[in-house]
Amino acid sequence: MISPHGGTLVNRVVEGAERDALIAKAAQLPQFPLNSREASDLEMIAVGAMSPLEGFMGQADYDSVVANMRLANGTAWPLPVVLATKGGFDAPAVGSEIALVGEDGTVYGTMQVSDVWAPDKKNELDKCYSGSGSQADESHPAWGYLSSIGDTYVGGAIVVANLPGYEKHNDYRLTPVQTRAAFAERGWNTIVAFQTRNPIHRAHEYLTKVALEQTDGLLVHPLVGDTKSDDIPSDTRMECYHALLSKYYPLDRTMLGVYPQAMRYGGPREAILHALCRQNYGCTHIIIGRDHAGVGSYYGTFDAQAIFQNFEPGEIGIDTLLFEHAFYCKLTGGMASTKSSPASNEDKIFLSGTKVREMLTNGERPPAEFTRPEVADILIAAYAAKETANA
């Protein structure tokens, strides 16, 4: 099976007597609050999904990642994973130990503080979230997050006694150890990951099935951490995935799990992050389509594919499957892309997200060539319920 990024699958979760001792120690330490995104990152670090990270980044790693997309030791890593101060809480001293606490008061574990520094958040925004489409500015979702946190970052290794708890999707919250075991049990040697924060429409279905022709299994791995307020909620999306997979996919070659990370809307750099983390989950391939992890017009259509060329062979272990924009082709009577269809634009069926949302809000099914009717019905019901709640 594919090696984790950095060579070792990190585990920062303690159990049994060690867990009891950590909880007792944490009760005597100064508390440091984590917001929901930081709690998601803590979970990803603790279970090895963000290997080789063993904690929140220190300044040397942060500076190197922002400037060069690599940790200070040269290992490929595209985006900062940091812990920030919050209102009313002072930064701890370097060398101190703190208890990491969630928004609900849960004590997750402890962190040995190795670094405390004031980052240049404008530089972070510019370097990490700009693309060939346009320069990142204060309307970018990343700035909304960066401006909501404190002006001091705190880094250090973590030890975790309690992972964050959730009310939803718990049967699908598989750790990298669990996904790797599941792949081995199924006899899959090559596994392709499909990252999504949206329902799967016909173009996505086409990409995943083309990928399945080349691999042993497909991991549909939707992101269920924080997303923008206008993104479709995860419970609605999960209902769509179940409806689609149960009828239109070979269940012996398909697996559904959720990905707890928060969305950064980092375009090309986030595509690298999604790839490296899926490698840690045991995937050998990942689908990278048009505008992966994009938002607005900040990134070029295929920036997320081109960025992988910035890394030498072997720096990133997972293989990328790169796809053009897919559509239903009236000329050939099936799904296609510009690589496989000679159709002109009038023979292509693809709808904008704005048009689809307008149709769903009005209770209209998008064309069957765009989305499966079972998925459309779920979305129409969800939009209707939202309209009723907002009335």
Calpha distance 377→236 (Å, rounded) = 11
Paired strand residues for 362: none
Calpha distance 241→222 (Å, rounded) = 9
* Catalytic residue (one of 198, 253, 357, 365): 198
pLDDT tens sequence across 277-327? 999 999 999 999 989 999 988 999 999 999 999 999 999 999 999 998 899
pLDDT tens sequence across 342-353? 988 889 988 766
Taking Cα atoms as reference points, which of 79, 63, 142 lies closest to residue 307? 79
Token pair of 298, please?
């900040």
* Catalytic residue (one of 37, 173, 180, 197): 197
Calpha distance 310→263 (Å, rounded) = 23
Taking Cα atoms as reference points, which of 35, 11, 281 lies closest to residue 172? 281
How far the first Cα of the chain sits from its last, in Å, is 52
Cβ atoms of residues 55 and 163 within 8 Å = no
Told to judge if 186 belongs to the known catalytic residues of this protein, a careful annotator would answer no
User: In degrees rounded to 5, what are phi and psi of residue 369?
Assistant: -70, -15
- Is residue 250 reached through a cis peptide bond, with omega within 30 degrees of 0 on the bond before it? no
Token pair of 377, please?
């019905």
Statement: the pTM of the whole predicted model exceeds 0.85 = yes
Distances (CA, A) of 220 to 33, 52, 141, 336: 32, 23, 25, 21
How many Cα atoms occupy the beta-carbon half-sphere of 125 within 13 Å?
A: 18
- Structural domains of the chain sorted by starting position, each given as residue range(s) with its CATH number in brackets: 16-160 (3.10.400.10), 170-390 (3.40.50.620)
What is the pLDDT tens value at each position of the chain, 391 positions in all?
Answer: 999 999 999 999 999 999 999 999 999 999 999 999 999 999 999 999 999 999 999 999 999 999 999 999 999 999 999 999 998 788 999 999 999 999 999 999 999 999 999 999 999 999 999 988 888 889 999 999 999 999 999 999 999 999 999 989 999 999 999 999 999 999 999 999 999 999 999 999 999 999 999 999 999 999 999 998 888 899 999 999 999 999 999 999 999 999 999 999 999 999 999 999 999 999 999 999 989 999 988 999 999 999 999 999 999 999 999 998 899 999 999 999 988 999 888 899 887 666 787 888 888 888 899 999 999 999 999 988 887 777 6
List, as one string, the DSSP characters of 137-188.
Answer: -TTSHHHHHHTTS-S-EEEEEEEESSPPP-SS-GGG---HHHHHHHHHHHT-
Told to judge if 198 belongs to the known catalytic residues of this protein, a careful annotator would answer yes
